[in-house]
Structure 1
Amino acid sequence: MTSAYPLSWPPGFPRAKSREDGRFKTSLPAALKNVEGSLKLFGSDSRKPVSDIVLSSNVALGVARPSDPGVAAWFTWDGEQICIPVDRYATVEANLQAIHHVIEARRVELRHGTLALVRATMQGFKALPAPPGESWREVFGFQPDTPITREHVEARYKRLASVNHPDTATGSDAAMARLNVARDRAISEIG
């Protein structure tokens, strides 16, 4: 099951290297409502209900402006798990509003094209389920909203590998495999 917090970013989607200010004039509650409404209308328009909606981000109680404002909208449509991830903008609400516009573009395709056309465009959003278990941040002991670079990941990996490697008295194959998976996920996410 994909989690709403912390952000579950889909494998294979690169993260933005820099972010721009969005020109959207919307609040976080309004942007959430727009995305949820667009998904409901998209399901109705396509006659293929949208279900299992999870809007994943680093927004938490007391953290409305996380350092990583990315948002991933996970849902099931036409029997497939779909993920529309956006981290182009500097705020969570702008990224949510961008997702709303992406969904609305699919609704335009339905009105002027065919369901086959929409299925073809949705292929790019097909997502593997979010990786199960711990996030790479948990494995490495990083806080969810702390900005992390590849250098941070490599340094923490090296330190933890020195005690978790199966050749050490405290290590094991399972512990090292856990570290390797976490490093791969981290590098895939942050580039």
Structure 2
Amino acid sequence: MTATAYPLTWPQNMPRTKGRVSSRFKTGLNAAIKNVRGALTLFANDSGKAVKDIVISSNVSLGVDKPSDPGVAVWFTWDGLSVCIAVDRYPKVEDNLQAIYMIIDARRTELRHGGLNIVRATFTGFAALPAPARKSWQEVLRLTNVPGHNIDREMVEQAFRELAKGAHPDRGGSETAMAELNIARDEALKEL
């Protein structure tokens, strides 16, 4: 995955936070960016391994410093690992960025007390994993065990309507789940 500074590039293997909580951080946006960059430099020095290709990704732009999606993802390469630390727990971009600074600083503590292998194992959890294999439209619409495999357009539409009740963002689902359903329905109707 290619990370961009704007708009936010969120890692596909990391779920989004449903309810945000306020933080006690008192750090402004510029200071939080400086903290993250400084912590990555110190981490590289401590570990003896370069930190490269740093991208701080968010929805902050020149015209919008308080976006509706305050998530932040910091992407970088370290010791052959493509790493992404992403936080959207707090309602302010600067607080999420400061949380990432704290996470990086915690890796420095692990490095001092546990060594390089401990940190390598920890960063494996932050690895920027490829997206999981896509499901077939039959799997998404839950039409894999249809007796006789005589699936018709009406069955597809009925399965879609039923699943959309729970997948729609307005009904507790997500945009991702609804998009997956729409794509599955379109593929099914095209094939049938």
TM norm. shorter chain > 0.5:
yes
Query: Is residue 15 of structure 1 aligned with residue 12 of structure 2?
Result: no
The structure-2 alpha-carbon separation of the partners of 1:59 and 1:129, relative to structure 1 and needing over 3 Å to count, comes to: farther
Once the two structures are TM-superposed, the CA of residue 52 in structure 1 deviates from its matched residue by 0.2
1:151-181 CA-to-partner distances (Å, cap 9, x unmatched) read 66638x74x988x76967xxxx9xxxxxxxx
Q: Which has the larger radius of gyration?
A: 2
Structure 2 distance, partners of 1:124, 1:151, is 24
Aligned residues of 1:72 and 1:85 also touching (Cα < 8 A)? yes
1:16-41 CA-to-partner distances (Å, cap 9, x unmatched) read 01101111001000000000100111
* Paired AA for residue 24 in structure 1: F
Larger RCO (CA under 8 A, 6+ residues apart): 1
The structure-2 alpha-carbon separation of the partners of 1:151 and 1:36, relative to structure 1 and needing over 3 Å to count, comes to: closer
Partner of 2:3: 2
Partner of 1:35: 36
Which sections of structure 2, spanning at least 5 residues, go unmatched?
A: 132-167
The structure-2 alpha-carbon separation of the partners of 1:98 and 1:152, relative to structure 1 and needing over 3 Å to count, comes to: closer
Once the two structures are TM-superposed, the CA of residue 128 in structure 1 deviates from its matched residue by 2.7
**SS at 1:6 equivalent:** coil
Query: Is residue 69 of structure 1 aligned with residue 63 of structure 2?
Result: no
The structure-2 alpha-carbon separation of the partners of 1:47 and 1:59, relative to structure 1 and needing over 3 Å to count, comes to: same
TM-score, with normalisation over the residues of structure 1?
A: 0.70
Which sections of structure 1, spanning at least 5 residues, go unmatched?
A: 131-147, 174-191
Structure 1 distance, partners of 2:58, 2:120, is 26
The 5 Å alignment of 1:91-130 reads 91-128=92-129
Q: Which runs of 4+ in 1 moved over 4 A?
A: 150-153, 164-168
Partner of 1:24: 25
Aligned residues of 2:8 and 2:73 also touching (Cα < 8 A)? yes
* Paired AA for residue 73 in structure 1: V
**SS at 2:125 equivalent:** helix
**SS at 1:125 equivalent:** coil
**SS at 1:117 equivalent:** helix
Once the two structures are TM-superposed, the CA of residue 129 in structure 1 deviates from its matched residue by 6.1
Structure 2 distance, partners of 1:12, 1:75, is 16
Identity fraction in percent? 58
* Paired AA for residue 29 in structure 2: L
The structure-2 alpha-carbon separation of the partners of 1:33 and 1:161, relative to structure 1 and needing over 3 Å to count, comes to: same
Partner of 1:145: none
The structure-2 alpha-carbon separation of the partners of 1:17 and 1:151, relative to structure 1 and needing over 3 Å to count, comes to: closer
The 5 Å alignment of 1:122-161 reads 122-128=123-129, 149=169, 150=173, 154=178, 158=182
Structure 1 distance, partners of 2:46, 2:76, is 16
The structure-2 alpha-carbon separation of the partners of 1:161 and 1:74, relative to structure 1 and needing over 3 Å to count, comes to: same
Q: How many residues align?
A: 151
The structure-2 alpha-carbon separation of the partners of 1:34 and 1:152, relative to structure 1 and needing over 3 Å to count, comes to: closer
**SS at 1:59 equivalent:** coil
- The root-mean-square deviation of aligned C-alpha atoms, in Å, is 2.6
TM-score, with normalisation over the residues of structure 2?
A: 0.70
Aligned residues of 1:81 and 1:129 also touching (Cα < 8 A)? no
**SS at 2:77 equivalent:** strand
